[in-house]
């Protein structure tokens, strides 16, 4: 069949049907994208400023893979102490100031106590029962009441001796081995927490429970990175 030959009648109907189906699919997709963008735009209008966002993917390609705090600090110098990111529909508000964090998360905690559901942290990594990841509700309020009984401003003074002992141990450890500063800081902070919480005394940087605690925190930090995991941006992909 030459290029100038007409389409045979037996092929014309399927061809026309396929073309019409593709046209309908394309129009439907464009309409869905338009609705998505209009909805996203209305939400972004009430959000803080932030870096330029591409249609559909937002800031997904700009999200830092390593040392995110350095990128966030650089953006804060441009957009302020609180700015907004959107990674494939995952809304992220970055607070880059201790003053702003205290104002919003402490003094206005009744407004901003909600936590987002992170698929990687909760459904896949299993950290959703940790108090720092729990959504605001009865269980979280109960846990906070228990913590406040032990760590309130009126009771914190009973742990001064524990903190002073850890501070002395930190100084001696760094004097003995200056290169171990980071490990010494982590170990002594963990020793205070474990002694107050569980009555357990950390025996040093090689302590097995200290090692497990550090491993859990490293894994949690990795799993909770905003805009990194496809499972958080598209939960259906989990």
Digit-by-digit pLDDT tens for the chain (238 residues) are 445 555 555 555 555 566 566 676 666 666 555 655 555 555 556 789 999 988 878 888 888 888 888 999 999 999 999 999 988 778 889 999 999 999 988 888 778 877 778 888 888 888 888 888 888 888 888 888 888 888 888 888 899 999 999 999 999 999 999 998 999 999 999 999 999 989 999 988 889 999 999 999 999 888 888 777 777 777 766 5
Closest to 74 measured CA to CA, from 103, 50, 55: 50
Q: What is the pLDDT of residues 71-121, one digit of tens each?
A: 999 999 999 999 999 887 788 899 999 999 999 888 887 788 777 788 888
Structural domain total, the chain: 3
Asked if residue 188 and residue 127 are part of one domain, the reply reads yes
Task: Examine the fold and report which residue of 83, 112, 141 is the final residue of a domain before the chain moves on.
Answer: 112
Q: Which domain holds residue 204?
A: 116-238
Residues 219, 141 share a domain = yes
The helix (H) or strand (E) run that includes residue 28 is: helix 9-44
69 and 148, same domain (yes or no): no
pTM above 0.75, yes or no: no
* Shared domain check, 67 and 2: no
| Torsion, Cα of 195, 200, 206, 211 (10° steps) | -80
Residues 20 and 133 in one domain: no
The answer to whether residues 145 and 105 belong to one domain is no
- Residue recorded with tokens 């499972």: 231
234 in the same domain as 127: yes
Closest to 162 measured CA to CA, from 170, 152, 154: 170
Distance from C-alpha of 132 to C-alpha of 160, rounded to nearest angstrom:
25
Same domain, 135 and 238: yes
Block residue for tokens 């046209």: 23
Shared domain for 28 and 57, answered yes or no, is no
Q: Do residue 173 and residue 186 come from a single domain?
A: yes
């Amino acid at each position: 069949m030459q290029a100038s030959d007409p389409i045979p009648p037996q092929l014309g109907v399927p061809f026309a049907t396929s073309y019409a189906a593709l046209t309908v699919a394309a129009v439907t997709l464009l309409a869905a994208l338009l609705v998505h963008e209009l909805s996203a735009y209305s939400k972004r209008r009430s959000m803080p400023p932030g870096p330029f966002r591409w249609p559909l993917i937002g800031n997904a390609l700009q999200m830092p893979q390593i040392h995110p705090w350095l990128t966030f600090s650089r953006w804060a110098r441009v957009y302020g102490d609180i700015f907004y990111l959107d990674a494939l529909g995952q809304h992220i508000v970055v607070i880059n100031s201790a003053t702003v964090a205290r104002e919003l998360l402490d003094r206005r905690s009744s407004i901003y106590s909600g936590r987002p559901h992170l698929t990687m942290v909760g459904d896949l990594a299993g950290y959703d029962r940790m108090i720092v990841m729990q959504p605001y509700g009865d269980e979280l309020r109960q846990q906070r009441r228990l913590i406040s009984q032990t760590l309130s401003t009126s009771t914190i003074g009973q742990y001064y001796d524990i903190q002073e002992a850890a501070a002395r141990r930190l100084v001696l450890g760094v004097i003995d081995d200056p290169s171990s500063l980071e490990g010494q800081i982590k170990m002594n902070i963990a020793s205070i927490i474990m002694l107050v919480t569980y009555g357990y005394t950390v025996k040093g940087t090689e302590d097995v429970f200290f090692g497990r605690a550090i491993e859990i925190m490293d894994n949690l930090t990795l799993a909770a990175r905003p805009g990194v995991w496809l499972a958080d941006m598209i939960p259906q992909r989990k």
